[in-house]
């Protein structure tokens, strides 16, 4: 009986400590349970050496105290079902000892029944213990599962917080980068506007020498015819002072003066048109289309570009070939913008022929040709061809990119062809194509809808 009681105490203590994790949660109760375990061991040893009845009552006291604690104490509620397992055995053992104490005869008469009842109580205890262990394992498994879910939820919540923080930081970073990009874009647009203005002023500078040369010719005619007209007027006055006036001579002088005035008017208008063209080129484009004589526009800018280059390099000389379609008529374009396109193409053509001339190629004669023609009823074409050094195939697909240039540093901004391409394609819904053979020629083709 004492061994059975010790085993019950041992397993009850182990069960309670394991189930409740008293070492962590209830250290005070854990110490008491350990003491109860040691007390049971001490009673078991004492029972071997001491033959005293009070020892069995101490066993009853320990068992009842542990079952009562498991049942009554709030902290032990999760394991209160332990009394269902050990309760029958404790009650039968207690009843057995009480009956033996009170009536020995009655005890002897029921001794066999009590022994059988104790066996069944032990069987019940084992069965209940096994069932409890299974339930405990199931509960422990459920607890671990719940704990894992809670841990996963905690990790997910932590990750969500971290992700939200990362998203917030990334959003702030993207916002900052967006603001920086917008600022950079604004600065780039400002810089681009400045570079476009510089390119326009650079082309205006290239025009200056050509304009000076072109405007000098009509001014010389105006001055010469004015001087001749003054002489003719003096001659007419002298003739009128004579007593015998020659009416036919006076009429002839008047006709000469009239012709001179007509020539003065013609060359004055020519000078005026050159000045107006220069002003149109220098001021900002209004992007308003006007009916324009492209033949005259191309011819004028060709000569201006040529004389501008000759003003800076007296050794340069080139043949200018024009092939204009007389039936071209007036084409609706923005004259300032189209003038800039032609000036860029002519300047590049003269530059290419000059570079080829400097190679010392025997018999080479720089030639720039410009021609126009009507393509059907809805399109016209302008071709600008030079027999210069051509464009290498390796850079052919880059020539319309902003800031790309094959000229040495300081001789080009790389915006001429880019701006020309935008003016033709975006401003006039046309096409700017190029045909070239390296070392032989380059020909730019402008096609515009009429």
Residues ≥6 apart with Cβ < 8 Å to 17: 23, 30, 33
Q: Which of 422, 435, 354 is nearest to 391 (CA)?
A: 435
Domain termination site, one of 116, 141, 157: 157
**Do 272 and 313 contact (CB within 8 A), yes or no?**
no
Return the H-helix or E-strand segment holding 443: strand 441-449
Give the full edge-to-edge strand order of the sheet including 367-375.
Answer: 319-323, 367-375, 379-386, 441-449, 431-437
Asked whether residue 169 is assigned to any structural domain, the reply reads no
Pairing status of strand 441-449 against strand 431-437: antiparallel
Q: How far is residue 235's CA from residue 233's CA, in Å, rounded to a whole number?
A: 5
**Do 306 and 322 contact (CB within 8 A), yes or no?**
no
Asked whether residue 76 is assigned to any structural domain, the reply reads yes
Asked whether residue 445 is assigned to any structural domain, the reply reads yes
DSSP string over 164-218:
HHHHHHHHHHHHHHHHHHHHHHHHHHHHHHHHHHHHHHHHHHHHHHHHHHHHHHH
Asked whether residue 145 is assigned to any structural domain, the reply reads yes
Domain identity same for 296 and 445: yes
Domain identity same for 151 and 294: no
Phi and psi torsions of 80, nearest 5°: -65, -20
What string of pLDDT tens digits covers the 450 residues of the chain? 556 666 676 677 777 677 767 777 777 877 877 787 777 677 666 666 666 566 677 776 777 777 776 666 676 666 666 666 676 777 777 777 777 777 777 777 787 787 788 788 777 777 777 776 677 678 778 888 888 888 899 899 888 888 889 989 888 998 898 888 888 888 877 776 666 666 555 555 555 655 665 666 677 777 777 887 888 888 778 777 777 777 777 788 888 888 878 878 876 776 776 666 656 555 555 568 889 899 998 998 888 888 777 767 778 889 999 999 998 889 999 888 888 889 889 988 998 898 888 888 888 999 999 999 998 878 999 999 999 999 888 888 888 777 667 666 555 556 678 888 888 998 889 999 999 998 899 999 999 998
Asked whether residue 364 is assigned to any structural domain, the reply reads yes
**Do 341 and 431 contact (CB within 8 A), yes or no?**
no
Residue entry with tokens 């059975």:
4
Q: Is 244 helix (H, G, I), strand (E, B) or coil?
A: coil
Rounded to two decimals, the pTM is 0.47
Asked whether residue 174 is assigned to any structural domain, the reply reads no
Asked whether residue 111 is assigned to any structural domain, the reply reads yes
Asked whether residue 32 is assigned to any structural domain, the reply reads yes
Domain that holds residue 415: 287-450
Domain termination site, one of 157, 186, 220: 157
Domain identity same for 448 and 300: yes
CATH at 339: 3.30.565.10
Domain termination site, one of 115, 135, 157: 157
In total, how many domains does the chain have? 2
Q: Is 341 helix (H, G, I), strand (E, B) or coil?
A: helix
Handedness of CA 327, 328, 330, 332 (dihedral sign): positive
Handedness of CA 138, 140, 143, 144 (dihedral sign): negative
Q: How far is residue 127's CA from residue 254's CA, in Å, rounded to a whole number?
A: 149
Pairing status of strand 367-375 against strand 379-386: antiparallel
Task: Show the DSSP H helices in 73-103 as ranges.
Answer: 82-102
């Amino acid at each position: 009986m004492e061994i059975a009681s010790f085993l019950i105490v041992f397993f009850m203590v182990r069960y309670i400590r394991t189930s409740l994790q008293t070492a962590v949660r209830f250290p005070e109760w854990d110490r008491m349970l350990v003491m109860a375990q040691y007390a049971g061991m001490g009673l078991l040893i004492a029972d071997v050496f001491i033959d005293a009845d009070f020892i069995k009552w101490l066993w009853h006291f320990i068992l009842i105290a542990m079952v009562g604690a498991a049942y009554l104490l709030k902290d032990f509620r999760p394991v209160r079902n332990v009394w269902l397992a050990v309760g029958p055995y404790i009650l039968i053992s207690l009843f057995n000892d009480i009956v033996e104490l009170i009536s020995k005869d009655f005890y002897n008469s029921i001794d066999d029944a009590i022994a059988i009842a104790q066996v069944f109580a032990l069987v019940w205890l084992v069965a209940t213990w096994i069932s409890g262990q299974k339930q405990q394992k199931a509960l422990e498994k459920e607890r671990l599962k719940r704990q894992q879910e809670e841990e996963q939820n905690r990790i997910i919540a932590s990750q969500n917080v971290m992700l939200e923080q990362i998203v917030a930081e990334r959003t702030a970073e993207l916002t900052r980068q967006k603001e920086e990009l917008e600022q950079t874009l604004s600065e780039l647009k400002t810089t681009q506007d400045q570079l476009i203005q510089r390119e326009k002023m650079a082309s205006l500078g290239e025009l200056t020498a050509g304009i000076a040369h072109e405007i000098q010719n009509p001014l010389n005619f105006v001055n010469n015819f004015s001087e001749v007209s003054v002489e003719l007027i003096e001659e007419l006055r002298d003739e009128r002072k004579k007593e015998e006036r020659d009416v036919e001579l006076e009429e002839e002088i008047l006709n000469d003066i009239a012709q001179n005035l007509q020539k003065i008017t013609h060359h004055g208008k020519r000078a005026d048109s050159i000045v107006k063209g220069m002003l149109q080129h220098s001021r900002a484009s209004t992007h308003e289309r006007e009916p324009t004589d492209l033949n005259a526009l191309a011819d004028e800018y060709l000569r201006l570009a040529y004389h501008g280059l000759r003003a800076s390099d007296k050794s340069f000389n080139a043949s200018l070939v024009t092939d204009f379609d007389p039936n071209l008529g007036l084409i609706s374009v923005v004259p300032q913008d189209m003038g800039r396109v032609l000036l860029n193409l002519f300047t590049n053509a003269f530059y290419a022929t000059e570079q080829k001339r400097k190679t010392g190629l025997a018999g080479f004669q720089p030639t720039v040709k410009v021609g126009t023609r009507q393509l059907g009823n809805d399109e016209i074409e302008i071709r600008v061809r030079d027999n210069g050094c051509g464009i290498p195939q390796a850079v052919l697909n880059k020539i319309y990119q902003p800031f790309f240039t094959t000229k040495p540093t300081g001789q080009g901004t790389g915006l001429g062809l880019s701006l020309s391409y935008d003016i033709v394609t975006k401003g006039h819904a046309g096409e700017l194509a190029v045909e070239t053979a390296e070392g032989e020629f380059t020909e730019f083709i402008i096609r515009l809808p009429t």
